Structure 1
Amino acid sequence: MSIDGIAGASIAYSTANVLSQASLSVTKKAMDSQEQQAAQLIEQLKASVPEPPSNHKIDILV
C-alpha cells in the first residue's frame, strides 16, 4: 500500500468518525428534548386529574 493510499484511508476514517460523532450528538440532543417534553406532559396530566374530596369514605364489606 502506498503512502497516498494510507493517507487517503486515514482521512476517510477520520471523516467517517467525525460524521458518526456528530450524528450521535444530534440523536442524544433529540432524545433529551423528547425526555423533557414527556416529563412536562406527565406533569400536565397529573395536574389535570382532580384530587378526590377528603370527606368521602368507602365502606367495603367482605
Structure 2
Amino acid sequence: MAAAPLSYLAGQRDTDRAFVRAHHAAPAPLHHVDTRFGLHEADFTALDRFARTAGR
C-alpha cells in the first residue's frame, strides 16, 4: 500500500521532522501551531493548500 499524504501539525522541532522523514514516505509538510493560541485562519489556509495539491 502506498503512503498517503500526511499533514502533521506540531511544534516543528528537529525531532518532529526526523520522525516524519523516518516513518512517512509521502509528502508530509510540518506545520507549526502555537499551542498557546491554537489554530487560526492562516493555519486552515495552509492545510487547505496542502490538501488541494497533495498527490499531484
Task: Give the TM-score normalised by structure 1.
Answer: 0.27
**Greater helix share, 1 or 2?**
1
More relative contact order in 1 or in 2 (CA 8 Å, sep 6+)? 2
Bigger-Rg structure (1/2): 1
TM-score by length of 2: 0.29
